[in-house]
Amino acid sequence: MGIETEARNFISEIEKLHTIQDIDVAKSKFLGKSGILTQEFKKLSALNSEEKISFGKKLNSIKNQIEEAINNQVKFVKKLELDEKLQAENVDITLPVNNEFGSLHILSYEIKRIKDEYKANGFLILDGPEVETEFFNFDALNIPKYHPARQSQDTFYIEGFPETLLRTQTSCVQIRAMQEKGLPLRMISIGKTYRNDQLDSTHSPMFHQIEGLVVDYNPINIGNLKDALNRIVAFVFEVDSDSVLLRFRPSFFPFTEPGMEVDCCYSKENGNIKINKNGNKWLELGGAGMVHPNVFKACGIDGEAYGFAFGFGLERLVMLKYGINDIRSFYDTDMRILKHYSSISNN
Ligand code: DAH
């Protein structure tokens, strides 16, 4: 077979190849070191000069045709590959959407639920800064300078800013609220608080508190406090207020007089807590009391004023409510836990 016929066959073969590798293999078969055309070029040296010119011309023209055929085929295959890739990446906008939306974290969900309820009942829902001054976090709350809670092992002070700290309690919002709004006032504040505690299953250096304050120039008594506590416990645990039995233990909070710790009666059934009056256990909720006159004074409130306040740790309540036994579960990003509790909250 003459070289021209071989070249024609080769060109028609090349046009059938659909991968770059196949083209490369074919190319070296024809143009490679021991390729068909290379062998033909080697014959040139044995020819006389006239034959060399005409045969050389012929070979060069074949070489050009072959190279052109190869280049065209490479271009064609590359375009084919690109088309295939685009086709594969094509987004089908008619496909149904993934309807797995995000959901509220269980703490956010409970915070929202409490805020919505108290807003609907005429309470102001207030926030305060998490970076506070000693005045709002301690002084105005009648907490003396020598009080151990002020020490830096409990309180995170902000370096370089004197008398500035991460608030250790939401009670400071009471002060800001009374200073700004005056009396009468009914408010709820829920927010983050910080204490220099080691992180373990029941402690966290950051946790949330629910603060309540009801103050007026008209008399408010401890019975009103008891009623308010009864209602919030019933609401948080989603039980009837008739099944709530509270116990008050005298305690010292400098911003209350009298001050008390509040416990709630419950029993344990199948590992879950059940709030009821006939239970055999007491659950510690937090602190409460009647607002101390010095607190009114620090807020610039003149004359006879009355009121009560309470402050509970939110994580503790939510842990008891849902049977969560490790506070760290709230802040870890374990999707199994987050999804499990979000499905409860979104039903
Ligand atoms: N702030 C207190 C704490 O963090 C809890 C507390 C006690 C809040 C009595 C109050 C209160 O409003 O009246 O331990």
pLDDT score for 172: 98
Using the predicted structure, report yes or no on whether residue 277 has a pLDDT greater than 90.
yes
Q: Do 67 and 129 belong to one domain? A: no
What distance in angstroms lies between residue 203's CA and the mean position of ligand 1's atoms? 17
Q: Do 113 and 245 belong to one domain? A: yes
325 three-state secondary structure: coil
Are the C-beta atoms of residues 68 and 14 closer than 8 Å to each other? no
Q: Which residues line ligand 1 (CB under 6 A)?
A: 169, 171, 211, 253, 256, 259, 286-289, 309-311
Q: Do 238 and 130 belong to one domain? A: yes
Enumerate the β-bridge partners of residue 256: 291
* Inside any domain, residue 116: yes
Task: Give the model confidence (pLDDT) of 17-49 as tens digits.
Answer: 999 999 999 999 888 888 888 988 989 889 898
Task: Give the model confidence (pLDDT) of 288-334 as tens digits.
Answer: 999 999 999 999 998 899 999 999 999 999 999 999 999 999 999 88
Task: Pick the closest to residue 301 from 309, 310, 311, 291 (CA basis).
Answer: 291
Give the residue from 88, 117, 136 where a domain finishes.
88
Q: Do 73 and 138 belong to one domain? A: no
pLDDT score for 103: 85
Confidence tier at 336 by pLDDT (50, 70, 90):
confident
Q: Residue 332's domain is classified under what CATH number?
A: 3.30.930.10
Q: Do 257 and 298 belong to one domain? A: yes
Task: Give the model confidence (pLDDT) of 157-194 as tens digits.
Answer: 999 999 999 999 999 999 999 999 999 999 999 999 99
* Inside any domain, residue 28: yes
pLDDT score for 155: 94
Reply yes or no: is the peptide bond before residue 258 cis, omega within 30 of 0.
Answer: yes
Give the residue from 38, 61, 88 where a domain finishes.
88
Q: Do 45 and 149 belong to one domain? A: no
pLDDT score for 347: 45
Q: Do 82 and 113 belong to one domain? A: no
Using the predicted structure, report yes or no on whether residue 54 has a pLDDT greater than 50.
yes
| The overall pTM is greater than 0.75 | no
Q: Do 113 and 45 belong to one domain? A: no
* Inside any domain, residue 95: no
Q: Do 220 and 315 belong to one domain? A: yes
pLDDT score for 151: 81
pLDDT score for 344: 60
Are the C-beta atoms of residues 195 and 283 closer than 8 Å to each other? no
- How far apart, in whole angstroms, are the C-alpha atoms of residue 58 and residue 131? 89
Q: With b meaning 16 or more CB within 10 Å and e meaning fewer, what string describes 49-62?
A: eeeeeebeeebeeb
Give the residue from 30, 58, 88 where a domain finishes.
88
Count of domains forming the chain: 2
**CB-based burial of residue 113 (10 Å sphere; 0-12 exposed, 13-18 middle, 19+ buried)?**
middle
Of all protein residues, the one whose alpha carbon is nearest to atom 8 of ligand 1 is 311
What does DSSP assign to residue 332?
A: S
Q: Which is it for the CA torsion 167, 173, 176, 179, positive or negative?
A: negative
Q: Do 70 and 121 belong to one domain? A: no
Please report the atom of ligand 1 found closest to the CA of residue 260.
9
- How far apart, in whole angstroms, are the C-alpha atoms of residue 133 and residue 153? 17
Q: Do 173 and 227 belong to one domain? A: yes
Beta strand 164-166 pairing with 185-194: unpaired
* Inside any domain, residue 97: no
Using the predicted structure, report yes or no on whether residue 10 has a pLDDT greater than 60.
yes
* Inside any domain, residue 101: no
Using the predicted structure, report yes or no on whether residue 345 has a pLDDT greater than 60.
no
pLDDT score for 148: 83
CA 155 to chain centre: 26
Using the predicted structure, report yes or no on whether residue 229 has a pLDDT greater than 70.
yes
What distance in angstroms lies between residue 210's CA and the mean position of ligand 1's atoms? 9
Q: Do 166 and 52 belong to one domain? A: no
* Inside any domain, residue 223: yes
* Inside any domain, residue 99: no
What distance in angstroms lies between residue 240's CA and the mean position of ligand 1's atoms? 25
CA 123 to chain centre: 29
* Inside any domain, residue 30: yes
Least confident of 128-137, 166-175, 233-242, 332-341: 332-341
Per-residue pLDDT, averaged over 263-270, amounts to 93
Of all protein residues, the one whose alpha carbon is nearest to atom 3 of ligand 1 is 169
Q: 84 lies in which domain range? A: 3-88
Task: Give the model confidence (pLDDT) of 79-134 as tens digits.
Answer: 999 998 898 888 888 888 777 778 899 999 999 999 999 999 999 999 999 999 99
- How far apart, in whole angstroms, are the C-alpha atoms of residue 91 and residue 347? 33
71 three-state secondary structure: helix
Task: Pick the closest to residue 119 from 41, 2, 235, 36 (CA basis).
Answer: 235
Enumerate the β-bridge partners of residue 132: 165
